Amino acid sequence: MVLTLYGYPISTCSKRVAVVLHEKQVPFKFVTIDLATGEQKAPVHLEKHPFGETPYIVDDDGFVLYESRAIARYIEEKYAGQGTTLIPRDLKAKGLFEQAVSIETANFDPYASKAAQEKISKPAMTGLAPDEAYFESQIKELAKNLDVYDKILSKQKYLAGDEITLADLFHLPYAEALPYTGTKVIEERPNVARWLSDLRARPSWQAVKDGVSGTA
Amino acid sequence: MVLTLYGYPISTCSKRVAVVLHEKQVPFKFVTIDLATGEQKAPVHLEKHPFGETPYIVDDDGFVLYESRAIARYIEEKYAGQGTTLIPRDLKAKGLFEQAVSIETANFDPYASKAAQEKISKPAMTGLAPDEAYFESQIKELAKNLDVYDKILSKQKYLAGDEITLADLFHLPYAEALPYTGTKVIEERPNVARWLSDLRARPSWQAVKDGVSGTA
């Protein structure tokens, strides 16, 4: 039995889990749930993920878990001794890690995800034109926050210090999507650009960026 | 030296930290940063919290940390042996805890906070009337998610299982604010109502709900 990841190959949240599985060198099966047809709302999946979303995992012993960031933490903890260490052990370093994790969900994801959804997913899924004013309002908020990221990243290599953590990897799926919206919020900020280019170059991201597939 | 919490007495995020300090029986000083005058953007505070927000802590040894949920986790870890245990130790229980934490930031906070800000903070701070259509759109999304909460809470006492965790406490500040917007999304769902009423009754919440003040 191996861990099975249920998701959609090009979904940002599925990539968020897959990149961590690669960093931790954990082999996994991948089962596609077709978000385009709404398969995630089928009873067999709702039983595993009551919010009717993806991804979720079924671990080798049957343990079920959803929410991409929670799965990533579980994988890091279960396989603490292998692959890249992605959560610091020391009390204060861990505090700064949790601060960085919280910055991602509060200051990056809400704006980056809405901008990418408006400009990329909405036209692709519905054929409707993006609402440019709404898109710009999200980019404006994101830009303000990335100014602070740029200051933080001028003093340290990664968001929680000089070592990579889950907090950095959590940004990758939407950071990768942003340039396709036409915005330059990342490349205009040298330290943010350097940080993301470093993350993007990792073999783990190269393995999943164009679509997740299983390794077991 | 004691831990100092810098925040605003009636701020939801300051209450989120303070309720945890009470649960963990950690004495703290409280220093008010006046959000009404924008004091959080003063250089002396920006040096501690580069995003120019509150709350942040300065611990007894000078260690600085911001982001309310990160501070809560740091307090839990530093004082693991005292007060209520708020993060499970077992791998799977911890996985389910992280899932519940992520549900709060993904499925509750974005809608509850925007609804409360539109209906309560905006009129109070700007004198402008709330945008009722926007408020209703947030409540509609929240209601859909609380339907799932109600199912989860029909099978277990708290969001991560039968023991209280940080994931439950993280909901309290905005859950307490919601009834003041006129919505009945909570009381219409019996298991959600029971869960929140149980959380609200805790001495820790009673101590901070009307405004945070120091205990040291």
Output B31-36 pairs: Cβ under 8 A, ≥24 positions apart: B31/B4, B31/B5, B31/B6, B31/B7, B32/B7, B32/B8, B33/B6, B33/B7, B33/B8, B34/B8, B35/B8, B35/B11, B36/B125
Q: Is A174 inside a domain boundary?
A: yes
Q: What is the pLDDT of residue B124?
A: 86
Interface test with B, best of A105, A146, A156 (most B CBs within 10 A): A105
Domain end, chosen from A85, A120, A154, is at A85
Q: Report the distance separating Cα B153 and Cα B173, nearest Å.
A: 19
CATH of the domain at B48: 3.40.30.10
Distances (CA, A) of A163 to A17, A29, B132: 19, 29, 46
Strand (E) positions, chain A?
3-7, 28-32, 56-58, 64-66
Residue B53 DSSP SS3: coil
Q: For residues B74 and B129, state if they share a domain.
A: no
Residues 69-108 of chain A with CB under 8 A from chain B are 69-71, 73-74, 77-78, 91-92, 94-96, 98-99, 101-103, 105-107
Q: Is A212 inside a domain boundary?
A: no
Domain end, chosen from A85, A118, A151, is at A85
| Residues with pLDDT less than 50, chain A | none
Q: For residues A95 and A170, state if they share a domain.
A: yes
| Residues with pLDDT less than 50, chain B | none
Q: For residues A78 and A113, state if they share a domain.
A: no
A:B CB pairs within 8 Å: 78
Q: For residues A127 and A171, state if they share a domain.
A: yes
Share of residues in chain B with pLDDT > 90 (%): 95
Q: What is the pLDDT of residue B201?
A: 98
Q: Is A63 inside a domain boundary?
A: yes
**Residue A154 touches chain B, beta carbons under 8 Å:** no
- Number of structural domains found in chain B: 2
Q: Report the distance separating Cα A123 and Cα A117, nearest Å.
A: 9
Q: For residues B72 and B156, state if they share a domain.
A: no
Q: What is the pLDDT of residue B44?
A: 93
Q: Is A76 inside a domain boundary?
A: yes
Domain that holds residue A54: 3-85
CATH of the domain at A195: 1.20.1050.10
Q: For residues A33 and A54, state if they share a domain.
A: yes
Of the partner residues A78, A105, A145, the one whose CB lies closest to the CB of residue B105: A105
ipTM tops the 0.85 cut: yes
Q: What is the pLDDT of residue B36?
A: 86
- Give which of A70, A67, A82, A65 is closest to A23, Cα–Cα: A82
Q: For residues B57 and B131, state if they share a domain.
A: no
Q: What is the pLDDT of residue B1?
A: 79
Q: What is the pLDDT of residue B96?
A: 98
Q: What is the pLDDT of residue A50?
A: 96
Q: Report the distance separating Cα B147 and Cα B153, nearest Å.
A: 10
Q: For residues B71 and B130, state if they share a domain.
A: no
